[in-house]
Amino acid sequence: MLYEHGANIIHADQHQDHEAGLFFMRVEWALEGFDCGAFRSEFTPVAAELGMTWSLELSSTVTRMAIFVSQYLHCYADLLYRHKAGELACEIPLIVSNHPGARALAEFHGIPFHQFDARSESKAEMERQQVALVEEHKVDLIVLARYMQILSPEFVMRFPNRIINVHHSFLPAFVGAKPYHRAFERGVKLIGSTSHYVTEVLDDGPIIEQDVTRISHRDQLEDLIEKGRDLERVVLSRAVRWKLAHRILSYGSKTVVFD
């Protein structure tokens, strides 16, 4: 059908999950001489007949991404730098924080900054205002760049597969707060970082990317934190870049990340 509509296929990849009985495919093609509207009309009934879940994404449509950040700024600063350097093909219309320290970088990059005091405002009211901002700015993707607040199930359910978090451990190990402290107490020899979709269950969403680094008995807690921050930056930026390129398919508790 793509050929019949004049598509010039540039890249195609596929994966089959035998246990789940699912087949996944990603096809990328040039739009020159291609009629998207006619293809949608013709392919929709075929997809329905085959029981397919599908989407058609245009690379020319720029994703609008909001960054949520707290007092740890390393992932936040890295995303802003990569965006400025042209590595992340998106627009960043707003930054949300519960700490004032992130304001200076937002102003340097000319991005509107919105601060919420989680201590003085009720959580429900704070999230209501945040949702209003996200919708007002037509945000497609929310990135939690070490945003140290637990989002309510109502907030998460409003943006399914549209919130990406970075957690400073190799999930499912050391879920929740202070994973470096618990890793140090256990004397682990590897530490890691995980980027995942956010779901209603804390640190339990489908994993997009992970990485690890080796440590030894000589490393103290401060060393674990320093080495871990390098992992956090890389893992989060990879996940965001893949999401912007429409390379991630999510199903159940897993993801397929195409090359």
Name which of 152, 154, 147 is nearest 68 in CA terms. Answer: 147
pLDDT of residue 31: 85
CATH (domain of 103)? 3.40.50.170
Residues with active-site annotation: 203
- Residue at 3 is within a domain: no
Q: Can you give the pTM of this predicted structure?
A: 0.93
Q: Are strands 22-30 and 8-17 parallel, antiparallel or unpaired?
A: antiparallel
- Residue 41 shares a structural domain with residue 67: no
Local structure of residue 195 (DSSP, 8 states): E
Instruction: Find out whether 176 and 202 touch, Cβ atoms under 8 Å.
Output: yes
Please give the average per-residue pLDDT across 77-82, as a whole number: 98
**Residues in contact with 179: Cβ distance below 8 Å, sequence separation at least 6, in sequence order:** 167, 168, 169, 173
Q: Would the pLDDT of 34 be above 80?
A: yes
Q: Total domain count for the chain?
A: 2
- Residue at 127 is within a domain: yes
- Residue at 57 is within a domain: no
pLDDT band for position 6 (50/70/90)?
confident
How far does Cα 240 stand from its chain's mean position? Answer: 5
- Residue 204 shares a structural domain with residue 138: yes
